[in-house]
Structure 1
């Protein structure tokens, strides 16, 4: 089994733990609490069961998109913290309600931690074979907050708000098929350049000295400051060659 296959299996086990494992653990806890109450209390199991169904659906959509993993983990972890502290009220146990806020925060943090591990397991160290996988790779842009290049299996996107990509419209980002890219070059910025972007940015760009990528696609010409310029170019060119 190759290195990337080993990484893939390890990462997907963690992703399954986030999307499916958290709801299953919560379902077991809620079921155990329900045994101390009346049959009506078992209705509470619908909440983790619903999370499990949602996790099943979202996992199929997000399994190759690391940008979603931490958010889903925090959401499921936070909901689990709320459920564990509030559901005991249904069986007459009151004291956990005083822990609801800490449980919410701790649950969100604990739920997001596996996503950070999975992201690191996938990307560290970066190897050329990553380009041969279906994973979406994220490259943050230097000096442009909340702006990134998303390198997909068959497209590249410049996105000003990656977290809100599900609401994407033409004014929030630009997506190009890999087949439409006509040139990719590495340059060094001095820090005095004035970069223009045809998409709205959440914050004004702060140009700093360092490597950057010139991306030419569909008649557009982008200058993308990133400290991972050479890595982005290598992976992009490798995916272009197999697109």
Structure 2
């Protein structure tokens, strides 16, 4: 587990810090061929680098943020690499701005995906004993997820909830039971959050009992979710 942790954190560092450093090098090389004013362009990658250092410390154990940050940094890098040559009078790379944006975005997303897969595939039961916030997707409900961190479980209908009804959290200490069973696909499910466009699908699910409430969570990783909750509930 320790070797996997080191590998994951190296990839996360490449996304949060490595991308801004790469952009800074490219911008510095371009600026060195122009006037002194062109060095102002270094402000953007330096700002990205500072934010990357700060955010990496906050997000290092939260995979749900890796995709957004890596995609943003990658897209900005692709865009700036094609547009910044205008500062030294070279215009032709600007016609590649849109492809550059797309390529940078895809590269950033691929880097985040690599970190996510390095963490979760194949799933190691020892992950339950780490500080990583583990993400489980709910089947048939677009964007909905179950997040399990060190002391609570959160059910949310959007990656970044904007209202109280889109998210509900339970301290692990309030969970009184977790049970796996199979859905036929015709059941009417009740959720602790407001969900839209939910589609009942057959397959594994988890009954989560907490605070006197029972919720049915359809997920293809039902057994794994129960194992993680059971392990992290132990004192």
1:63 aligned onto 2:56 = no
Q: Which residue of 2 aligns with 1:15?
A: 12
Q: Which residue of structure 2 lines up, in the alignment, with residue 164 of structure 1?
A: 160
* Count of matched residue positions in the alignment of Structure 1 and Structure 2: 235
Name the residue aligned to 1:26: 23
> 1:164-216 CA distances to partner (integer Å, 9 max, x unpaired)?
14x4x421110011111111111111112101223211x33211221110001
Residue 220 of structure 1 and its aligned partner are, at CA, apart by 2.0
Report if aligned partners of 2:192, 2:215 keep a CA contact under 8 Å in 1: no
Check the 8 A contact 2:71/2:104 in 1, yes or no: yes
Distance 1:204 1:57 in 2: 37
- In structure 2, distance between residues paired with 1:190 and 1:89: 60
Which residue of 2 is the match for residue 240 of structure 1? 233
TM-score by length of 1: 0.94
CA distance in 2, matches of 1:131, 1:117: 20
**Cross-structure match for 2:176:** 182
Gaps of 5+ in 1: none
In structure 2, how many angstroms separate the alpha carbons of the residues matched to 1:140 and 1:222?
Answer: 15
Q: TM-score, normalised to structure 2's length?
A: 0.97
In 1, are the aligned partners of 2:205 and 2:216 still within 8 Å (CA)? Answer: yes
Aligned pairs for 1:102-117 within 5 A: 102-117=99-114
State yes or no: 1:194 paired with 2:194. Answer: no
* In structure 2, distance between residues paired with 1:208 and 1:93: 55
Question: RMSD of the TM alignment (CA)?
Answer: 1.1
- Structure 1: distance between partners of 2:91 and 2:116: 39
Quote the Cα distance in structure 2 between the aligned partners of 1:219 and 1:158: 16
Q: 2:209 aligns with which of 199, 212, 216?
A: 216
1:83 Cα deviation from its structure 2 partner: 0.8
Question: What are the residue-to-residue correspondences of 1:41-80 with 2, within 5 Å?
Answer: 41-80=38-77
Task: Give me the whole-angstrom Cα distance separating, in 1, the residues matched to 2:93 and 2:124.
Answer: 47
